[in-house]
Structure 1
């Protein structure tokens, strides 16, 4: 019996170290539960801006801590949505557009924990109202058909100092990839203005869309905020050019490269302030029968009369129109107060042929200079590279 007990004890002593070296500790049920619980903690979502008087003009940012974002929607009180994109890894989301002034937003974020559980959280914020609003007057009007020289023109109520930021929000889409550029100029009214013109005249049939996504953009300085977007879509019509030779006193309508008709005219009287402008002017509007008063263009009491078939070429008052009182001068002498006059019959025919956006290419020795870019649509008188340099971008 004694020997048996000794052998058993010795075997137990030898086996004990071997067992200790080959075994691995198994996690307890409580340890596994704690790990799963840590992986399934709710994701912490942070939204900026925040509060009830948040600063507008910045993108909305949503971040996730302890998990990832799978979807984010940001909507205003009217249901309009700020689109955006979740970054790689799902840690953040940033809106493409900026938060507009005076707007209440609701943010809905769907998250996934490390354990795979999805949850949805909601929050809201309101931006401070704009203390000053900047508005826009734009041309051409939507759904219009215009001539081949028509620029896209935006005139602002208030000064624009953040020109690059504003220009970034102006999107031009054309049906044929037309090359063009924005250029910042001073409008005849003295206000800030930005025009987009093609490198060369538009191709007939081109469809053009302007999306001015300005809502939430700060003009800078004392210009105020933009609080809405603007859009216009138009089509380019027939290729026709009006060529005016004030030396030979002739106007020619050229359509698709063919001269349709020549009309004898009388331009501005040589010498002094009654001379006509030269260069390329663009037909701004067909105004029909209007009152023309010389006092409005700084010519005293030289005239005050009703004028038929009036076609505006500049803000400074140069028109093409019927001028039957100058019948003796058509085709031989420039004897107007700066406009391009013609007979009633010729004016009636011509008025029916042209449309806003048609270029008037005016030449003549006895003129008072080239039409300024801001005096109507005179951007075509600026060389292309010089025009491109007028872009804030």
Structure 2
């Protein structure tokens, strides 16, 4: 028994020696801790909008160098953030171009990680343009809508509308509406506050108009709303009243459209001053006159309505209505009003036997707010 104890004790000691002499487990090398994401490049992304945000980011590290090179041989201008963790393109890309990422990031462990990947931008079937008004630096009246007119009909109105924005110096509620397939307007719910500064951005480059058609370039305009001038045109009063900044500044004897002939009514509705010309040739074959010259003409509708001088109709001014739809004033009063008018001033006609039908140019204020917002594409 005593000998057995010695045997098992020796065996245990031998096993301990064997265990103690075993080789240590090999240490597996760790990879770099930094992770770089450069997009869009997953799987060689294609059909990317050239106006899409183009960025690269690194986690647990910082960029040492980032380059985005186009297949046309040009490098995209960009900027690494102060903390080194991101890079942002600072210029738009080009249509129908392949782009390749290169560069490197340094991880928090000091190891280098390459920047790589590639993508391509969309190849348009064709590109198209647009124009915007009011023009840059213009001063306009408080009813002036913003108009974006496209060179061809827009199929994807929602995509294009999302590319349009309006910024104002004071809060103004407003909305976009499509008045035609090739024309979108923005108007405030109520008249603009006097003195408002307005910026319009139409970021159309990269926007898909539908059917493979894309915007050829961005548009921008900045304009100012002038003083608050409103014309109150009550046809039954035979007067044209001008209010400026809440105060009446003039009341002119006037003659409106002949009440007994619906074709000659000055229809009810809120019109907008569209143009001013010192001499307008008036033509209406239905009523037998052609190239009739009238001075100090302020156009308020493409239906044919103007505020203008008609000294030959002096007997009717302030007494009865006999015009063909225009608002007649004396020469002196027409000149005074003409000089005070801004494009975009509202002219509110009331008391007529008919309403002006929406559909003629600048009919924005003939629609209720509910009717207006129903024309939005988003």
1:356 aligned to 2:343? Answer: yes
Contact conserved, 2:235 with 2:351, CA < 8 A, in 1?
yes
1:311 aligned to 2:298? Answer: yes
Cα distance in structure 2, aligned partners of 1:287 and 1:49: 59
1:230 aligned to 2:223? Answer: no
Secondary structure, counterpart of 1:133 in structure 2: strand
Displacement, 1:282? Answer: 0.9
**Matched residue pairs, number?**
365
Pairwise mapping of residues 148-297 of structure 1 onto structure 2 (< 5 A)? 148-186=142-180, 192-221=182-211, 224-270=213-259, 271-294=261-284
Contact conserved, 2:36 with 2:56, CA < 8 A, in 1?
no
Displacement, 1:351? Answer: 1.0
1:143 aligned to 2:137? Answer: yes
Secondary structure, counterpart of 2:313 in structure 1: helix
Displacement, 1:356? Answer: 1.1
Q: TM-score by structure 2 length?
A: 0.79
Report the counterpart of residue 4 of structure 1 in structure 2: none
Pairwise mapping of residues 85-164 of structure 1 onto structure 2 (< 5 A)? 101=95, 110-112=104-106, 115-118=109-112, 121=115, 127=121, 130-164=124-158
Contact conserved, 1:241 with 1:359, CA < 8 A, in 2?
yes
Displacement, 1:217? Answer: 1.1
**Offset from partner CA, 1:7-32 (integer Å, 9 cap, x none):** 9x99875444335556885466xx56
Secondary structure, counterpart of 2:210 in structure 1: coil
Displacement, 1:261? Answer: 0.6
Displacement, 1:277? Answer: 2.8
Do the aligned partners of residues 230 and 340 (structure 1) sit closer, same or farther apart at CA in structure 2, a change above 3 Å counting?
A: same
Do the aligned partners of residues 46 and 243 (structure 1) sit closer, same or farther apart at CA in structure 2, a change above 3 Å counting?
A: closer
Cα distance in structure 2, aligned partners of 1:234 and 1:83: 32
Cα distance in structure 2, aligned partners of 1:259 and 1:363: 17
| Structure 1 spans left out of the alignment, 5+ residues | 1-6
Cα distance in structure 1, aligned partners of 2:40 and 2:216: 22
Do the aligned partners of residues 148 and 118 (structure 1) sit closer, same or farther apart at CA in structure 2, a change above 3 Å counting?
A: farther
Do the aligned partners of residues 61 and 13 (structure 1) sit closer, same or farther apart at CA in structure 2, a change above 3 Å counting?
A: farther
Backbone CA RMSD of aligned residues: 4.2
Cα distance in structure 2, aligned partners of 1:326 and 1:79: 71
Cα distance in structure 2, aligned partners of 1:23 and 1:334: 119
Contact conserved, 2:282 with 2:292, CA < 8 A, in 1?
yes
Cα distance in structure 2, aligned partners of 1:64 and 1:237: 47
Contact conserved, 2:32 with 2:111, CA < 8 A, in 1?
no
**Offset from partner CA, 1:44-98 (integer Å, 9 cap, x none):** 96754999xx64647467789999885867688898868999xxxx9x9998998
